[in-house]
A and B are shown apart, each in its own frame.
Chain A
Amino acid sequence: MALLEITGASVQFGGLTAVNEVSFQAEPGEVRALIGPNGAGKTSLFKAIAGEEPLSAGTIRFQGAPIHDLTPHEISARGVRRTFQNGGLFGELTALENILAGLHTRIPSSFGGLLLGTRAAKTAEKNGTRKARALLEMMGIPHVADQWARDLSGGQQRMVEIVRALATDPPLLLLDEPAVGLAPPARAELMKIIRRLVEEENIAVILIEHAIEFVMTVCDTLMVLNNGELIAEGPPEEVRRNREVLEAYLGR
């Protein structure tokens, strides 16, 4: 049983077919990259996996159970976490509070407990804070904990967003253009982190990216979308030589 199993998935906006009968499977311990020209349907496919866009046909199963009829928060609670192409961080919260927001479902304090200030509610909040600090430490950015998210540099914001998505140890992580706006050293660092997560934590990562060199180095499987259709899927070097891909995507 695959971790994520997409079968014949289509997404339509009125008369426009953004994703057309796409099928693939993702396994734990692999990085899949999704590339394609602008408007190819990459983000629409991501949104469909995350429950933000309904499918017009097909199914999406996660850990064996269908998730395409669930709401985004239900899908997230099951262990599919994502980052966003633009924004996504809560600018009015500190980096630490952003991670705590990511841990929302893991802080088991009841409304009554919070109201009365019970020991259990205080302990839950303390444990959450401890875990959030440990995560920032693990990612090498403990110094940003108490800074407003909106004041962080682009690279730091990306890292905090990834840490926030990882806070609940999700089996599947969707990264929407994680390398955009990052300087080469930050990209290299991000690449190392993604590889480490996949190899050590055995999670699956699916990422959308335009930076081809980054994609070629980081992924195990490369998928190419064009006009909503999956035109190639395989090891990056193999896909790179695919004639259809060269014509559609690289324009050669």
Chain B
Amino acid sequence: MNILLQDPFAVLKEHPEKLTHTIENPLRTECLQYSPCGDYLALGCANGALVIYDMDTFRPICVPGNMLGAHVRPITSIAWSPDGRFLLTSSRDWFIKLWDLSLPSKPLKEISFDSPIWGCQWLDAKNWLCVATVFEESDAYVIDFSNDPVASLLSKSEETSLSSTPDHGYVLVCTVHTKHQDIIITGTSKGWLNFYKFHSIFQSECIHSLKITSSNIKHVIISQDGGRLAINSSDRTIRQYEIHVNNETSTVELILEHKYQDVINKLQWNCILFSNNSAEYLVASTHGSSAHELYIWETTSGTLVRVLEGVEEELIDITWDFYSMSIVSNGFESGNVYMWSVVVPPKWSALAPDFEEVEENVDYLEKEDEFDEVDEAEQQQGLEKEEEIVIDLRTREQYDVRGNNLLVERFTIPTDYIRIIKMQSSSG
């Protein structure tokens, strides 16, 4: 039904509540990522396959690398370009591959390192820049895919040579500031958080560095508006900060807002994710075979508002589509994909607003002027006046009811008709 006709409080729920779909994936999902507008869901599988599902039909529609050059080891991360056409995948087979979904049969470009890749992210998709973290490396890599792919360490150059700087351990995660696209944040195995200002692929400077904890930093996430930062570390704590970056003076300020812990079971968190815009909610998956839920907290008060249940296995990776308000997570044992979404009960009376649902019979009371005779000319005039208001049917609305931008460019994966025909003729 038309979402605009619905009760706004039922529609505008800011997080999903019910398990609505399960996608069975025999290839075992290792990680997943929604396309920027939630049209597609990319699944990275244990055997290195990358499968893209169409989220209207819940069917796979594209398997990049089906002709040549798919990964041969589990995929560790997937990143969509903002226009939804290009995909970056990193894998345990030491490769980072760039895919163009208009020609998905083989990778557009690829680069190999000499150890497994933890993950990679776009730094600047327009200029083909991305950042990646590699197994047992002291720093993250910046990769330029514009020509032949080139990788360079986010060098700390002189600083590292000084013996006074403490051992930061290996870099495990990195992320890019959502508002200041030249700020890269990395987290290390010894609990250090480093902020870099990116100038060019061979030059970037460390502008801030601080020790958060003494254990591994597993995730660093930043809200869409760039005001909140959350860190998931293996000391079983999610720390949420308010972050201020001054680009001119290159200073970073962090203020601790909340710490989220499972006090009773002392669980670790597998994955964390913010909701859209100013990140009013934080969702996390729980580690361990006994826990099968996703927790959602309200970030301003730090209170737990919802536990997403219904799955009978541990959940790993999470991705959240804000257009359809659905959260998707993959199971650890079966590799299946679970989807929670907002279920809106159909309310047909909304289609005829002058009709009212009544609990019991009501005696109808005629209104004072209800059956008065109206002067026909006057009525005609009134109608004409109404008609004079020009209704704009062409301009597209910029925002949907949830405040998501509707004018974002959406890429549609082309249908490979030749392949379909060939498959049909070979099977028939």
Answer whether A and B are interacting partners: no
